[in-house]
Structure 1
Amino acid sequence: MLSDPLTRALDLRNTGQPFVLATVVRAEAPTSAKAGAKAIITADGVLEGWVGGSCTQPTVVREALRALQDGQPRFLRMCPPERMQGNTPGMIEVVLTCISGGTLEIYIEPHLPAPHILAIGHLPVVEALAALAKSMNYTVTVVGENATPEQFPTADHVQRFEMERPAAGLKLDAQTYVVVASHGNYDEPALEAALNSEAAYVALVASKKRRDAVLEYLRGSNVPAEKLARLKSPAGLDLGAVTPEEIALSILAEIVQLRRKPNAQPSPANHSLSVIQPPVSAATLPPSIMEMRPREIPTPGPGEALDPVCFMLVEIATARYKSDYNGQTYYFCAPGCKRTFEKNPAQFA
């Protein structure tokens, strides 16, 4: 028997578990439960406490689970047929044929964990999103390679991104809304982890060109098409946003729309219409461009290397992506370039 339902409710709330508090608000004798009786119903359908016997409990559990699904409270009236009041607004009436013949009115109150914003990256839009989401009572987690609590004072949790274990220590459940904005530093591993999770929303803040490159990489990583279709890019509603704060507002507005109007699913990344360009290399450049190489392709300075695939300059000390071939180390701006190189290193060496 549950001796203190309110303490149990507090424990569940503090651990982020969804539950329903059912309270008898009115009872007409003869009933086994009296006004003020309470019970806790957890997400697995277990009822703890007492709000009536075998005639009432199945109905209470059923309506409690429905309340957890839609987040809406309910007012139940369970009574014999002759006491039915008809279509009363705001009330669900259930006929009881128990021998006792009493009536119970029970309030079903769902308690869901606060929605969780998981922002991965270090762009100013992440700072703006963390502050705005927290002001709307979201739980906020920021993950970045050099993220600190001082940089994100409004976030509930701040942790470093682990390239080798991108999902390490992260909550990625159906109450989590993921926004990736790392400016190409670790978009691919972060998105691969998010798309393979139960996260309710996965968005990428990036240009169309960058988005297409990320999608190509994810396809090459064998992420299924149905999971890729979940990716939202551009992130947020089309509000014409320009500043980081406006972009953060458009993203949070889309998340609110998804939560409050579940049928209004966000449009996925428009990658089906995108043309993925093959990586540029010396072997694929036309002669006219090859003649321009000495003038157009940058020369690495001290501590820099040239990405052999896309010809971008890479800082050696902070390079995340590198590969060894024939005794030489090559450095890359992104995992897509590294993968392209490793498929045929002789083409680029």
Structure 2
Amino acid sequence: MPKTVSARALELAQRRVPFVHARVVRAQAPASAHPGDEAIVYGDGTIDGFVGGMCAEGSVRTAALGALNGGGPLLLRVLPAGEVAFPDTPGATVVVNPCLSGGALEIFLEPVLPPPLIEVVGTTPIAEAFIALADVLGYATARSLPDGPPAEYTGAVIVAGQGRGDAEALRAALDADVPHIALVASRRRGAALLDELGLGEAERARVHTPAGLDIGARTAPEVALSILAEVVEAVHARGAPPPTALPEQPAQAVDPVCGMTVTVTAGTPHLTAGEKEFWFCGTGCRDRCATGLVGG
């Protein structure tokens, strides 16, 4: 990536902020963008970087927000009206943009979502081994105090204090409605601790103890591996929990001139006519509409 885009992407990843990385992979003259041009699209529709002029940017914004909100990676093909120069590409989303001045674009849109966050309670050998293994898989881990609430959007809490603060950590994870809670304990000690907490049937079912899949683990790293395998299984079985908050998706409107779907942001060209609001893909369509309204 260009330095400014790559630095911004790294900062966003460290802050666990979701975004879409947009990269131009093919461009046809006279398009203003070139292969390698890149941008970041935020959850509110804001764009940093350059992937084309206003009309192309509008198409990128709308497709990127769809990708970020569950659509997954996609190849966006932006074509002027009547353009057929690019051959069909399986898996591509095609947008015919009547407002392009010419030139077709192919832009790869990749949502960048923070990895699942797993909080680990305890400094035991099993806890240390779990953190090391989770890092290999790219999962984000954080130390958690036994009596502190888990961070927002925590996907799992592993209670590995082995007697130190276990009850407090379990209660905090249950109260925070963490999707996956695992207690490192023998079957007997785990059951006794759940009895001590006075948990009802529904809450008891949410605590996995003994933690981990039964793989015959004996050493601390092996136990940690079994716990991580159980977490992976749980994440994929229910779908990954939200890694962080996504901004409310901006509203969309149809440009009354060209018929394009437009994502409404602070910078989207618009007109007010009486009690009606009109939104446009660019200033050209807005000006043509304004001329028609005045003439009418």
TM exceeding 0.5 = yes
Q: What is the one-letter code of the residue matched to 2:228?
A: L
Q: Which residue of 2 aligns with 1:120?
A: 121
Contact 1:173/1:200 (<8 A) preserved: no
The structure with more radius of gyration:
1
How many residues are treated as equivalent by the alignment?
238
Distance in structure 1 (CA, Å) of the matches to 2:157 and 2:71: 21
Contact 2:56/2:100 (<8 A) preserved: no
User: Are positions 1:36 and 2:12 aligned together?
Assistant: no
3-state SS of the aligned residue for 1:185? coil
Alpha-carbon offset, residue 224 of structure 1: 10
Q: Which residue of 2 aligns with 1:110?
A: 111
User: Are positions 1:246 and 2:230 aligned together?
Assistant: no
Q: Which residue of 1 aligns with 2:283?
A: none
Of residues 180, 186, 193, the one that matches 2:172 is 193
Distance in structure 2 (CA, Å) of the matches to 1:142 and 1:185: 14
Distance in structure 2 (CA, Å) of the matches to 1:78 and 1:22: 13
Matches within 5 A, 1:33-182: 33-53=33-53, 55-68=55-68, 73-79=73-79, 80=81, 82-83=83-84, 88-98=89-99, 100-143=101-144, 161=145, 163=147, 166-167=148-149, 171-174=151-154, 176-182=155-161
Alpha-carbon offset, residue 82 of structure 1: 4.5
Distance in structure 1 (CA, Å) of the matches to 2:65 and 2:174: 27
Distance in structure 1 (CA, Å) of the matches to 2:112 and 2:31: 27
**TM-score, scaled relative to structure 2:** 0.64
Q: What is the one-letter code of the residue matched to 1:234?
A: P
**TM-score, scaled relative to structure 1:** 0.55
Evaluate the alpha carbon distance shift between residue 179 and residue 66 of structure 1 in structure 2; reply closer, same or farther with a 3 A threshold: farther
Distance in structure 2 (CA, Å) of the matches to 1:198 and 1:45: 30
The higher-RCO structure (CA 8 Å, 6+ apart) is: 2
Question: 5+ residue gaps in structure 1?
Answer: 144-160, 266-349
Q: What is the one-letter code of the residue matched to 1:88?
A: T
Contact 2:75/2:92 (<8 A) preserved: yes
Q: What is the one-letter code of the residue matched to 2:132?
A: A
Contact 1:172/1:199 (<8 A) preserved: no
Mean CA deviation greater in 247-256 or 98-107: 98-107
Distance in structure 1 (CA, Å) of the matches to 2:111 and 2:63: 10
Evaluate the alpha carbon distance shift between residue 81 and residue 239 of structure 1 in structure 2; reply closer, same or farther with a 3 A threshold: farther
* CA displacement, residues 182-203 of structure 1 (integer Å, 9 cap, x when unaligned): 2243222212222333645322
The percent of aligned pairs where both chains have the same amino acid is 42
Distance in structure 1 (CA, Å) of the matches to 2:204 and 2:68: 28
* CA displacement, residues 136-176 of structure 1 (integer Å, 9 cap, x when unaligned): 44443344xxxxxxxxxxxxxxxxx364xx22xx53424x4
Distance in structure 1 (CA, Å) of the matches to 2:100 and 2:140: 48
Evaluate the alpha carbon distance shift between residue 58 and residue 236 of structure 1 in structure 2; reply closer, same or farther with a 3 A threshold: farther
Distance in structure 1 (CA, Å) of the matches to 2:70 and 2:217: 31
Alpha-carbon offset, residue 83 of structure 1: 1.6
3-state SS of the aligned residue for 1:24? strand
Alpha-carbon offset, residue 258 of structure 1: 4.2
3-state SS of the aligned residue for 2:176? coil
Contact 1:179/1:204 (<8 A) preserved: yes
Contact 1:3/1:49 (<8 A) preserved: no
* CA displacement, residues 251-298 of structure 1 (integer Å, 9 cap, x when unaligned): 112333345x35479xxxxxxxxxxxxxxxxxxxxxxxxxxxxxxxxx
Alpha-carbon offset, residue 180 of structure 1: 0.6
Alpha-carbon offset, residue 59 of structure 1: 4.1
